[in-house]
Structure 1
Amino acid sequence: MLIRRGPAALATVLLGASLTVAAAPAQASTGGVFPPLKKNLISYYDFEHPVPGDPSREADRGRSGTTIDLVNGGAAMRVRDGARRHAIQLKQVDPSAKGNDDWKAGIYSATGVPSLRAFNAAKGATLMGWFKMTGTNPSPNTVTANPDDKYNAIGLSGLLTGDSDGHGVRALLEIIDVSGTLRVVALGRRVDGSKSQTFAASEDWQSVLPQNTWVHLAATFDYDTGQMALYKNGAPLPGFYTVAGDPWGVEGEPEPDVTSATDPRGIKIGGSFPQNNLERNPCNCRMDGLMFLDRALTPKEAALQYKFARK
């Protein structure tokens, strides 16, 4: 079912409006969550809940109990940051050499992560959280020989596809190059191995995410209608789609349209390849309150969740 409007029309509308068995959620309580959303909150990381005896891993406060790894930095990645209490620090460690030492987070399994099955044959998803740029972004590209090259993306948070190598995503909130300009984007893929669609914010990314300032971002994905949206501090971010037509293949039968019937291979935070065999698109930043929901929030819900997230 394709209901997505064209770029201009949508901008106008927005202006107006290591794998282990999943542990139990860290707490039954999910403070800071708009109550009607709790049943859809699959994973939630506030970085106040290290796994007992292993501070290099973070327990999940969402329904799935999907523990994530704090890759390369371990417990040192946990930082205090004023009103945010503990947050996670991500960063490029060595900008001059190719390696696998960047600080990032996530989980990966080549056979899929069963605890993330809510995103198997899903009609929608929402990714959101708090983000604070703390260094120079984008980072030097350690894959190329040219010392002046920089990565064309800055990794925030993503849900991997069922066939991902650690980079390919089903849902992604990130800063990427769009026709030569870095932009905050929601990037989604409905069918594993098929085409993606990107909804890019019109506003300059450094205006969306000013240095040393906590900003709440959300990206929503409706795999049945083909619609995506971005929100900053609860308000819609006007933007545009980068791919014309129907890249998700949602027109016609069967209905409703859902994602591939595969378990996501994991979650990536602050850069790709959470299995730590490669490094790409690091983020010199801090994050907190990262949420992964199994449906697309409405504009009203995004605004209300922002209010609850501030508590």
Structure 2
Amino acid sequence: MSRARRAAVATVSLLAIGALTGAGAPPAQADRTHPSDVHPALRAHLVAAYDFDHPVPGDPALERDQGRSGTEVELVNGGAAMRVRDHAYRGSGNAVRTRQIDPSVNGNDDWKAGTWSASGVRTLRAFSATAGTTVMGWFKLEMDSPLPNSTTADPTDRYNAIGLAGVLTGDSDGHGVRALLELIDVDGELRLVALGRRLDGGNSQTFAANQDWRALLPAGEWVHLAATFDFGTGALALYRNGEPVDGFYTRTDDPWLVSGPGPHVTTASDPRGIKIGGSFPQDTLERNPCDCRMDGLMFLDSVVSASDVRRQYRHLAR
């Protein structure tokens, strides 16, 4: 059992004990709501944040949450070696390195990060029945195409996507998402996208960037990305280095079912976790690995405005 799964089991046990004793869930740690690398305009909605400078004491394969939720993530397979000295922004110390290990073996050794629980991650309840979500962070790709597909016997087969970071649905197997930043094949061409799903078991909507992904994410260059998901209206948006990215919706119907009377929010279920640098943070399968580095990852329970995305970028950019 991975550390993330053991942590999830422990969390469920603690919550059960709390319910019996009347103690309830452990309170969020308020001192984490004011990290210096988060612009003040965003702090009230910051659910989870990871700068990879805060290993859990006694277990460096776990990273402490700098948001209000206290949701630790596991550095899967690579542990403490996944923290590398790299500076995405002013004041940055470490970044996390994710990567494919052996494309010729159908195993579970890829470096990725995240957390997962089959019963839902209680500390991520802010993303249950929410009208909006934002995912943002700094990314540096060290690849120029999707990586070989280790789950098939064909040595020429490649994955159709490169996973960045996202929040899982309440019924996710470790792949299905409520809000995700990634690179994925759209009509035969890899594109930077914001991909979201309002209802568990429902359809997803994708907003894809017009510009070539290699221009948006040049190999070896730190780039700040943000994706917003307005579940009330069905609107998505992408930002690069604080500025909006032009794009298009891959579906023109109503996949989120928001045309009728509202309010429209996500399913009232706790997300099953967070995935970073690939799918299945419980480490049961490999999918869409990213040979890259990430830093300053943030998950917010609101649609951050364009001006506040710009403020966050400028708050840290050199």
TM-score (norm 2): 0.89
CA distance in 1, matches of 2:58, 2:86: 23
Determine the structure 1 residue equivalent to 2:202.
Answer: 194
Determine the structure 1 residue equivalent to 2:133.
Answer: 125
- Select the residue among 182, 200, 204 that pairs with 1:174: 182
The number of residue pairs the alignment matches comes to: 293
1:150-229 correspondence runs (5 A): 150-229=158-237
Secondary structure of 1:287's counterpart equals strand
Determine the structure 2 residue equivalent to 1:78.
Answer: 83
Determine the structure 1 residue equivalent to 2:105.
Answer: 97
CA distance in 2, matches of 1:25, 1:53: 22
CA distance in 2, matches of 1:136, 1:26: 40
Q: Which amino acid aligns with 1:78?
A: R
Unmatched 5+ residue regions in structure 1? 1-17
Secondary structure of 2:248's counterpart equals strand
Q: Which amino acid aligns with 1:280?
A: R
Determine the structure 1 residue equivalent to 2:66.
Answer: 61
Q: % of aligned pairs identical?
A: 60
- Select the residue among 46, 57, 62 that pairs with 1:52: 57
CA distance in 2, matches of 1:79, 1:26: 26
CA distance in 1, matches of 2:131, 2:96: 30
Determine the structure 1 residue equivalent to 2:22.
Answer: none
Determine the structure 2 residue equivalent to 1:293.
Answer: 300
Q: In 1, are the aligned partners of 2:34 and 2:43 still within 8 Å (CA)?
A: no
Compute the displacement of 1:25 (Å): 6.8
Q: CA 1:67/1:87 → structure 2, altered by over 3 Å: closer, same or farther?
A: same
More off after superposition, 57-66 vs 33-42: 33-42
List structure 1 segments (4+ residues) > 3 angstroms apart after TM superposition: 20-29
Unmatched 5+ residue regions in structure 2? 12-25
Which whole-Å deviations, capped at 9, do the CAs of 1:280-300 have from their partners, x for residues lacking one? 000000000000000111111
TM-score (norm 1): 0.91
- Select the residue among 258, 271, 276 that pairs with 1:264: 271
Q: Which amino acid aligns with 1:204?
A: D
CA distance in 2, matches of 1:97, 1:204: 31
CA distance in 2, matches of 1:134, 1:213: 9
More off after superposition, 46-55 vs 23-32: 23-32
Q: Which amino acid aligns with 1:303?
A: R
Q: In 1, are the aligned partners of 2:163 and 2:290 still within 8 Å (CA)?
A: yes
Compute the displacement of 1:138 (Å): 1.1
Q: In 2, are the aligned partners of 1:158 and 1:172 still within 8 Å (CA)?
A: yes
Determine the structure 1 residue equivalent to 2:287.
Answer: 280
Compute the displacement of 1:185 (Å): 0.2
Compute the displacement of 1:250 (Å): 0.4
